[in-house]
Amino acid sequence: MPAEKNDLKLLFVNVCLRPGGYTKFLPVGLGSILTYFKIKGYDFTLLDIDIDEYDDEYVENYIKNNHFDFILTGSIVTHYKWVKWFVNMSKRHQPNSSIIVGNSVAGSIPELFLNNTKGDIVVTGEGEISAYEAVEAIRLKKDLKTVEGISFRNDDGSITTTEHRKAAKINELPEIDWSPFDVERYMEKAETMPDKDDSPETMRSIPVVTARGCAFKCSFCHYVFWDDPYRNRSPESIITEIKHMIKRYNVNYIHFWDDLSFASAIQAEKLADKIIESGLKFKWVASVRVDLFSRARLSDEDALRVAKKMRQAGCYSVGFALESGNKEILKMMNKDVEVDAFYKTVYTFRKADIICQTSVVFGYPQENKETIKETFDQCLKAGLYPSIGFLLPLPYTAMYDYAKVNGFITDEDRYLESMTERQDICVNMTKMSDEEIMDEIKIGAGKLNEMLELGLTEDTYIKTKKYQSQKVKKTLEVPQEQNITSMGNKSTRQRLDPKEIKRIRNDVSFNYSQTDFKFEENE
């Protein structure tokens, strides 16, 4: 007789990515998995290491003194070393429990993870259904080979990876039930950058996902939904969730925790229209790209109209990455944007009174003094202090392969254990020394610091402790080109042909009209 669902003891573990961090973020991915299990009738225990900042000794004692049939956890791949320790430690104390690990820490390196840890099952990609089906397969004593989207170790030690699971229908996934988490404490420590006239103390924010994945494939980037089509939620379902969040938690800020909230301005306008129509009052922040307006080929007036409408709907800040001011590096990044689009986008959003946030990546193999200067020149021109980071080769990215092929990563397990964050130079693939890179950065960041009167010191140029860009100290001149948002000569600009975009899997369900690439075809 198979065990009943409620006879089984499940433990979900929320890891702490940044011990001592001044902000805490509700884990949307884990929250979504928990919700799915709850809806399917499972009870569980949540060990939230993040909000309580339990140390390793506490965690080990907890595992030692409690019994679980399943232990499920996951994190970003940069937390590999800790997750490896946790999995091996758990197996030592509870050899009979099944340990299931998801998110990029295991899903972007399934074989390596299983070979180097005592974990039992890796959930690759989107986790809700695969994790649930894996637990169900064990409960019902079914063959794990029947579960899509996992890798697992067989009795003989060999590893089986099953078929990739078809991407879930994003509007059908349940709204996250945050009740297992101490939401109030998370809200106290949430992102502290409010809108210009608000103070951090009045912020009550919660994350909401509006899209999964991204429509692009940059060579340094990896997200869990890499092998899935880019999917947007319908404005209706987003607004319904926000309505619930306002009612339940009295929130006034929403963070759209997306890789890419809007692939085009048309999509942004659609959501803004619906928010305005709903009459809901909340502030929000979204992730876009520097080509948000240019990809839609909007005129100056239309771009500004959309930006102003976003502001009217509550958008107070947008993030879009310049990454580099050098064309060759942008090309190797596979970024598919023009440098000029950056200034134009900053100009448009600033005119609409929206705070711009950007980030840059130094350390592509071509990087030199000149290219670093080119990047800072763009920031100086736009009067925008970027989040400064270095190329951090992540598994399942083109730059990870580059690092391996060129001998920068020889022992993957060791490299993964040594990884920190993009604010540190983990691997230097340039011809410059670390010191030379840092010296150039100090020059560019120093100029920006002075121009924007930020009061940073050389020690805080990179780890600024808080985002600096809201202090707009520079009035921008109207971009010289006639059309502020075009990417250049319309007739020569490469068209985006949906058929030409290479998608690895699940192409069939990819709906371009959803991402509003349709405008490309209409022109």
Residues at the interface with ligand B12 (CB under 6 A): 17-18, 25, 27-30, 32-33, 72-74, 76-79, 100, 102-104, 108, 123, 126-128, 131, 209, 221-224, 257-259, 392, 394, 421-422
Where do we find the tokens 């947007």? Answer: 232
Length of the chain: 523
For the bound state, the minimum distance from the C-beta of residue 522 to ligand B12, rounded and expressed in Å, comes to: 29
Binding of residue 217 to ligand SF4 (CB under 6 A): yes
Cα angle, residue 280 at apex, residues 277 and 283 outer, rounded to 5°: 115
Q: How far is CA 476 from the centre of its chain?
A: 30
Identify which of residues 17 and 432 has a Cβ nearer to ligand B12 in the complex: 17
Considering CB distances under 5 to 8 angstroms, the limit depending on partner class, which of ligand SF4, ligand B12, none binds residue 217?
Answer: ligand SF4
Identify the three-state secondary structure at position 10: strand
**What is the C-alpha separation between 13 and 83, in angstroms, rounded?**
10
Q: Rounded to whole angstroms, how far apart are CA atoms 122 and 113?
A: 8
HSE-up of residue 42 (Cα within 13 Å, Cβ side): 23
Binding part of the chain for ligand SF4, among 99-107, 164-172, 215-223, 310-318 by CB under 6 A, reads: 215-223
73 or 117: CB nearest ligand B12 = 73
CA distances for 138 relative to 8, 133, 516, angstroms? 11, 9, 42
Place of tokens 């876009």: 288
Minimum CB–partner distance for residue 213 and ligand SF4 (Å): 8
Chosen residue from 101, 190, 211, 214 binding ligand SF4 by CB under 6 A: 214
Question: Which of the listed partners (ligand SF4, ligand B12, none) does 33 bind, with a CB threshold of 5 to 8 Å by partner kind?
Answer: ligand B12
Least distance (Å) between residue 509 CB and ligand SF4: 19
Q: Using an 8 Å Cβ cutoff, are 472 and 389 in contact?
A: no
Q: 240, exposed or middle or buried, with CB in 10 Å at 0-12, 13-18, 19+?
A: middle
CB nearer ligand B12, residue 123 or residue 372: 123
* Partner interacting with residue 440 (select from ligand B12, ligand SF4, none; CB below 5-8 Å by kind): none
Residue 100 binds which one of ligand SF4, ligand B12, none, with CB within 5 to 8 A depending on kind?
ligand B12
Query: Could you tell me if 57 and 28 are in contact, meaning their C-beta atoms sit under 8 angstroms apart?
Result: no
CB of 209 to ligand SF4, least distance (A): 14
To the nearest whole angstrom, how small is the minimum distance from the Cβ of residue 156 to ligand SF4?
A: 38
Q: Which is nearer to ligand B12, 132 or 376 (CB)?
A: 132
If the CB atoms of residues 84 and 350 are measured against ligand B12, the closer one turns out to be: 84
Query: Rule CB under 6 A: is residue 289 a binding residue for ligand SF4?
Result: yes
| Contact status: 394 vs ligand SF4 (CB under 6 A) | no
Side-chain half-sphere of 197: how many Cα atoms within 13 Å?
4
Binding of residue 259 to ligand SF4 (CB under 6 A): yes
Characterize 477-491 residue by residue with b for buried, 16 or more Cβ atoms within 10 angstroms of its Cβ, and e for exposed.
Answer: eebeeebbbbbeeee
CA angle 481, 485, 491 (to 5 degrees): 80
Please name the amino acid found at residue 73.
T
Three-state secondary structure call for residue 493? coil
Determine, following the binding rule CB under 6 A, whether residue 361 of this chain makes contact with ligand SF4. Answer: no
All residues at 6 or more sequence positions from 153 whose CB lies less than 8 Å from its CB, including other chains: 114, 120, 159
Min. distance of Cβ 328 from ligand SF4 in angstroms? 17
Q: Does 260 bind ligand SF4 (CB under 6 A)?
A: yes
Instruction: Please tell me the distance from the alpha carbon of residue 470 to that of residue 200, in angstroms, as a whole number.
Output: 13
Cβ distance to ligand SF4 smaller for residue 426 or 452: 426
Token pair of 194 as six digits = 């409010």
Kindly state whether residue 93 participates in binding ligand SF4, applying the rule CB under 6 A. Answer: no
- For residue 221, state whether it binds ligand SF4 (rule: CB under 6 A): yes
What are the Cα distances from residue 36, in Å, to 42, 109, 175, 202, 374?
9, 24, 9, 32, 47
231 is a site residue for ligand SF4 (CB under 6 A):
no
Residue 400 Cβ vs ligand B12, minimum distance, rounded to whole Å: 9
| Greatest alpha-carbon span in the chain | 75
> Measured from the CB atom, is 103 or 449 closer to ligand B12?
103
Specify which residues 254 forms β-bridges with. Answer: 206, 284
Select 189 or 471, whichever has its Cβ closest to ligand B12.
189
Residue 28 binding partner per list ligand SF4, ligand B12, none, with a CB distance cut-off of 5 to 8 Å that depends on partner kind: ligand B12
Binding residue (CB under 6 A) for ligand SF4 from 173, 218, 298, 487 = 218
**Residue 268 interacts with ligand SF4 (CB under 6 A): yes or no:** no
Q: Taking the complex as a whole, how short is the minimal distance between the CB of residue 210 and ligand SF4, in angstroms?
A: 14
User: CB-side exposure of 220: number of CA atoms within 13 Å?
Assistant: 23
Per partner kind, with CB cut-offs from 5 to 8 A, the member of ligand SF4, ligand B12, none near residue 516 is: none
3-state secondary structure of 414: helix
Q: What are the residues facing 73 on neighbouring strands?
A: 13, 101
Query: Shortest Cβ distance from residue 318 to ligand SF4 (Å)?
Result: 13
Q: How many separate helices (H) and strands (E) can be counted in the chain?
A: 19, 16
Is the CB of residue 135 less than 8 Å from the CB of residue 100?
yes
Q: Is 76 in the site for ligand SF4 (CB under 6 A)?
A: no
CB of 216 to ligand SF4, least distance (A): 4
C-beta of 194 vs 389, nearer to ligand SF4: 389
Place of tokens 């929206």: 354
Query: Which option in ligand SF4, ligand B12, none does residue 103 bind, with CB closer than 5 to 8 A by kind?
Result: ligand B12
Summarize as ranges the residues that interact with ligand SF4 (CB under 6 A): 214, 216-218, 221, 259-260, 289
